[in-house]
Amino acid sequence: MSDQPPASTRRDLLSALNPARALEKKPQGANSTQKMRVQPSAGITVRLSARAMACDFSVIMNPGPTEQIEAAGEALELVHQIEAWMSIYRDSSDLSVVNQTAADSPVPVRRELFKLLEKAKEIHDRTDGGFDMATGSLTRLWRLCRRENRIPEQSEIDSALDRSGQTNVDLFPESLRVSFRRPGIVLDPGAIGKGFALDEASDWLLTRDHAPPQFLLHGGHSSLVARGGHNGHPGWPVGVGNPLFTEKRLGTLLLCDQAMATSGSNIQFFRYQGKRYGHILDPKTGWPVEGMLSVTVLAPSAAVADALSTAFFAMGVEKVALCCKNWPEVGVILLPFPDKGNRVEPTVINIPDELIVWDEDQIVQY
């Protein structure tokens, strides 16, 4: 970790925050009145970044004492420590050992890993299986087929489904042990791991006297945690990406004491015999989800936001709306493929109008 703090710089926060005029719209037939609003802008920030979990993790802070740079560096070091026991690409990691041996007998795990698995089970249950961490066999099958430039046979998918499912994972809180009910189960933290690491880093910063009082943590730009405000705003301005034109933004969200995560099929996909296959799989069918461009979730924790942005991709609007009704602290922006033209038609659930400033040129007008 460097002892030299980086220089304060003026930057476009997440490439989305140049002041601009936007026409506020409530998508999907809401009754809000049209009025001109100005996109909230970013001011001077200090950023500290590190490479972890195959992406850049960053702590973005308002200018302040140099001690907060040291705290930010320690928070990023914590992310590296989490990656060491969580990664399934390291054969010796704690989670890899679970995947290798939990079908033989219950495996004792560290408290942090057990906490992650308990959170994954909770989200699985609250989404009726829409989120499932025990789908590594499916993910590996599709990754292999992509390398071989083919799609799986249904028999291969059925076999992977037989070796998948959170219901095949047993947790024993008293002894912090994990076991699998059948061989071949693979726990894959890909849809929750970054969020979990951000939560741990955020919670750690909140306990330190010399840490920044307001900050924005992000992992790979798709997962974020915001604490406090920035540049006079009651939150941090964060861009909502346009999945059709990645260099543009649909608008800006003000994020405060909340987490946000986005999942999309616009970048990670492949084509086979003219058909497009995304990387987000329906854990119940084993096939890539169709019909959705991206899903952005706001939630109290980054782990929840991360997992739900993947689960909501496959669940459909009606099930997502019901889930949010039963989970009122969760909000979502659903972006399906447009019927025609280049403008998207967002469906917004449980996110107040005043937190979003839309770009009138990017969304369907009403």
149: in domain: yes
Residue 258 · residue 289 · CB < 8 Å: no
For every residue of 153-218, DSSP letters joined together read -HHHHHHHHHT--GGGEEEETTTTEEEESSTT----GGGTHHHHHHHHHHHHHHT-TTS-SSEEEE
Question: Around Cβ 18, how many Cβ atoms within 10 Å?
Answer: 11
For residues 248 and 291, membership in a common domain is answered with yes
For residues 197 and 333, membership in a common domain is answered with no
For every residue of 104-163, DSSP letters joined together read TS-EE--HHHHHHHHHHHHHHHHTTTSS-S--HHHHHHHHHHHHTTS---HHHHHHHHHT
Please report, for the domain that includes residue 253, its CATH number. 3.10.520.10
| End-of-domain residue from the set 202, 229, 256 | 229
Residue 210 is part of which domain span? 44-87+188-229
For residues 52 and 142, membership in a common domain is answered with no
152: in domain: yes
Residue 122 · residue 114 · CB < 8 Å: no
For residues 270 and 304, membership in a common domain is answered with yes
For residues 224 and 245, membership in a common domain is answered with no
CA pair distance 65, 148, nearest whole angstrom = 53
Query: What integer pLDDT is reported at residue 245 of this predicted model?
Result: 83
| End-of-domain residue from the set 128, 161, 186 | 186
Residue 255 · residue 235 · CB < 8 Å: yes
Query: What integer pLDDT is reported at residue 355 of this predicted model?
Result: 92
Query: What integer pLDDT is reported at residue 267 of this predicted model?
Result: 58
Please report, for the domain that includes residue 171, its CATH number. 1.10.3980.10
Please tell me the total count of domains within the chain.
3
Q: Which two tokens stand for residue 280?
A: 């987000």
For residues 220 and 357, membership in a common domain is answered with no
Helix and strand numbers, DSSP H then E, in the chain: 8, 19
For residues 165 and 110, membership in a common domain is answered with yes
For residues 354 and 305, membership in a common domain is answered with yes
11: in domain: no
- The crossing angle, in degrees rounded to 10, of helices 302-315 and 111-126 is 30
118: in domain: yes
7: in domain: no
**Helix (H/G/I), strand (E/B), else coil: 62:** coil
Per-residue model confidence as pLDDT tens for the chain (366 residues):
433 333 333 233 333 332 222 223 344 433 344 455 788 888 999 999 999 999 999 999 999 999 999 999 999 999 999 999 999 999 999 999 999 999 999 999 999 999 999 999 999 999 999 999 999 999 999 999 989 989 999 999 999 999 999 999 999 999 999 999 999 999 999 999 999 999 999 999 999 989 999 999 999 889 999 999 999 999 999 999 888 887 888 999 999 999 999 998 665 667 777 777 788 899 999 999 987 889 999 999 999 999 999 999 999 899 999 999 999 999 999 998 887 767 888 999 999 999 999 988 778 754
2: in domain: no
Query: What integer pLDDT is reported at residue 360 of this predicted model?
Result: 80
Query: What integer pLDDT is reported at residue 7 of this predicted model?
Result: 36
Q: Is the dihedral of CA 69, 72, 78, 83 positive or negative?
A: negative
CA pair distance 362, 39, nearest whole angstrom = 14
178: in domain: yes
